Amino acid sequence: MRDERWLHVSHAPNDGNLRAGRCQFTGCHASTREMKPFCPNHVAESPYVKTILKTIRSRAKQVKKIAGGGPVPDDAHLFKELEQYIRTKGQCTIEGLAREFHLPSIVILRLVKAMSIVRFGKNIRKSITVEIP
Ligand SMILES: [Zn+2]
């Protein structure tokens, strides 16, 4: 049986060249549902899915480097995500951020240390806290 979940991630941006209801993968003539550009077998060929997979891979690579003690890259898009989250939430603990971002505490700590706008503190349970004043 086909995995229906994949059908919902195939919303590729309309490039003006969408053949309605036919898979765009070369050589595949399967019909698609709801005008999707790719059939479930070729949804990974969609530019949208490719972009997401690339982002996930580059993020995983970055995290691995940072966890291993490598330099924290200036352009890490984790910075933006972290900054936005801390600004919205207010004071956060390193452990809380680690849980929220599904990252090891050491990676969070190294990232927030590289953010000059973050102020460190400790809460009553002696956990390291961060906030952006
Ligand atoms: Zn196909």
**CA pair distance 58, 56, nearest whole angstrom:** 6
**CA pair distance 16, 24, nearest whole angstrom:** 13
pLDDT, residue 16, reads 46
Q: Could you report the per-residue pLDDT of 81-115, keeping only the tens digit for each? A: 899 999 999 999 999 999 999 999 999 999 999 88
d(CA 22, ligand 1 centre) in Å:
8
d(CA 31, ligand 1 centre) in Å:
8
pLDDT, residue 124, reads 92
Q: Could you report the per-residue pLDDT of 4-16, keeping only the tens digit for each? A: 444 444 444 444 4
**CA pair distance 48, 59, nearest whole angstrom:** 17
d(CA 70, ligand 1 centre) in Å:
41
Taken in order of first residue, the domains within the chain and their CATH numbers are 70-131 (1.10.10.10)
d(CA 61, ligand 1 centre) in Å:
30
d(CA 62, ligand 1 centre) in Å:
32
For the entire predicted model, the pTM comes to 0.64
d(CA 44, ligand 1 centre) in Å:
10
Decide: 34 and 11 in contact? Cβ < 8 Å: no
Residues contacting residue 70 through CB under 8 Å, at least 6 positions apart: none
